[in-house]
Amino acid sequence: MINYIRTDYAEIYLENGILFFNYFNIPNFDLKAAKKIVDDRISLQKEKAYPILCDMSAINYPDIEARKYLAFEGSLLIKAVAYIVAMDIPNHLLDFFIEVNPPRVPTKIFYQREKAIEYLQHYK
């Protein structure tokens, strides 16, 4: 089974029962990009659900249509999501992001990778 892919948008790999998503800088994170990202992820998963760690510290945030898509259609085959973000992003902006487009799966935001992995252990 292939457990690693690199796309124009991210590096995606499976390790110890968690799917890791390291986003690259995406200048125009629109609906088209969101659909491609989800398609790439699902192809790697081979119809199996996983908890997902998304390192978003390097990207520009998705536009409204992309956020809606990722929150709903993009939640297919996901048990839980832990987002890692840059330290300079204020908590209230992150909370707003989740409140405006509430995900269908348990979701939490972290500044530290280790804490995000610890959170996802419960969903393996």
CATH number at residue 31: 3.30.750.24
Question: For the segment 51-68, what is each residue's pLDDT rounded down to a tens digit?
Answer: 999 998 887 778 989 988
Mean per-residue pLDDT of the chain: 90
pLDDT for the residue numbered 59 = 76
Question: For the segment 99-114, what is each residue's pLDDT rounded down to a tens digit?
Answer: 777 788 999 999 999 9
Ranges of residues in the chain with a pLDDT under 50 are none
pLDDT for the residue numbered 14 = 96
Measured CA to CA, the distance from residue 113 to residue 104 in angstroms comes to: 22
- The number of beta carbons lying within 10 Å of the beta carbon of residue 104 is 13
Domain range for 30 is 4-123
Query: How many structural domains are present in the chain?
Result: 1
